[in-house]
Copies of this chain bind each other. A is one copy, B any other.
């Protein structure tokens, strides 16, 4: 299968390299030959040579490209590119949480109308399989609640503050040095990034279109070293927890710092790890845990989606555009 990529940042490079490194493995294990033919970049890149292209038309007008991987992020121009690619009969695999949260149902419909698929496992939880299992392995359950640690940067900062008594600014600076935090970390710190991922999880779990203004959102700026020390003394910890639950009168979604006791499954999720706990009426609590970000883990989810498409076994995850009744705001 000939594929093209949109974007060549840290995730893009991770996907590109992983695809090269695993080319023979995928051919021998699955009989799938994956070739990254073109990569859309702003300007020519030495790693890419001839493969680097600077116009989207070079990709969308190429009939040999069957699948487009979008790793540029943001709503525009990603949305126009993805919808044009789908309309041109190309599958799209995306890691773009903003876009899925905001434009999911529109993209699902375009994909359906053009008999292709729009896959987005990588948009939540990086390398942790969670969206697909929620819809393909837990769908026999009524989902009662979701909770998780969905932002690695803020979790790393809180872990360092608690374990090493680093001040917030110091912990943040270290996260930036290690490449975990963006240069502008405000979406991580404020809870916005976690809220976006919660919106996608809730939308899939309950087949409605939740949005950011449905989430009561608080960041970690207000967490003090003393709060963490006090929690630690009592054998507890404080984490930025994203939660969604279905009550009789509506759904309740929140992101905020929360005390976690040592017998809770999220207690051990430290550093840049992420975890999602799904409570089904049949299974009870099921937890998915692992690396929530980074080029290689994200590449795992992106390329697994691509392999499912190549093997003609991808399932279109969807949620409706029905607006849910939300309480507790």
Contact = CB atoms under 8 A, between A and B. Distances in A.
A127 interface: yes
Contacts of A133: 129, 132-133, 137
A77 B290 CA distance: 40
Interface string A187-213: 000000000000000000001000000
Contact of A18 (B29, B140, B207): B140
Contacts of A283: 127-128, 290-291, 296-297, 300
A235 interface: no
Nearest to A26: B140
Contacts of A304: 136-140
A121 interface: yes
A230 B303 CA distance: 45
A315 interface: yes
Q: Which of A133, A207, A308 has the most CB of B within 10 A?
A: A133
Contacts of A139: 29-30, 304, 307
A265 interface: yes
B284 A127 contact: yes
A301 interface: yes
B315 A300 contact: no
Interface in A261-315: 263, 265, 267-268, 280, 282-291, 296-297, 299-304, 306-308, 313, 315
Given A129-B133, A141-B300, A268-B267, A207 B284 contact: no
A42 interface: no
Interface string A1-36: 000000000000000001000100110011000000
A133 B128 CA distance: 10
A299 to B, nearest CB: 6
Contacts of A308: 136
Contacts of A306: 140
Given A26-B140, A127-B284, A288-B288, 13 more contacts: A18-B282, A22-B140, A127-B280, A127-B283, A129-B286, A133-B137, A139-B304, A140-B300, A140-B301, A140-B303, A263-B268, A283-B296, A288-B289
29 contacts: A22-B142, A25-B142, A127-B280, A127-B286, A128-B283, A132-B136, A132-B137, A133-B137, A136-B304, A136-B308, A137-B301, A137-B304, A138-B300, A138-B304, A139-B304, A140-B299, A140-B301, A140-B304, A263-B268, A265-B268, A265-B289, A282-B296, A282-B299, A283-B296, A284-B291, A284-B296, A287-B290, A288-B289, A313-B315
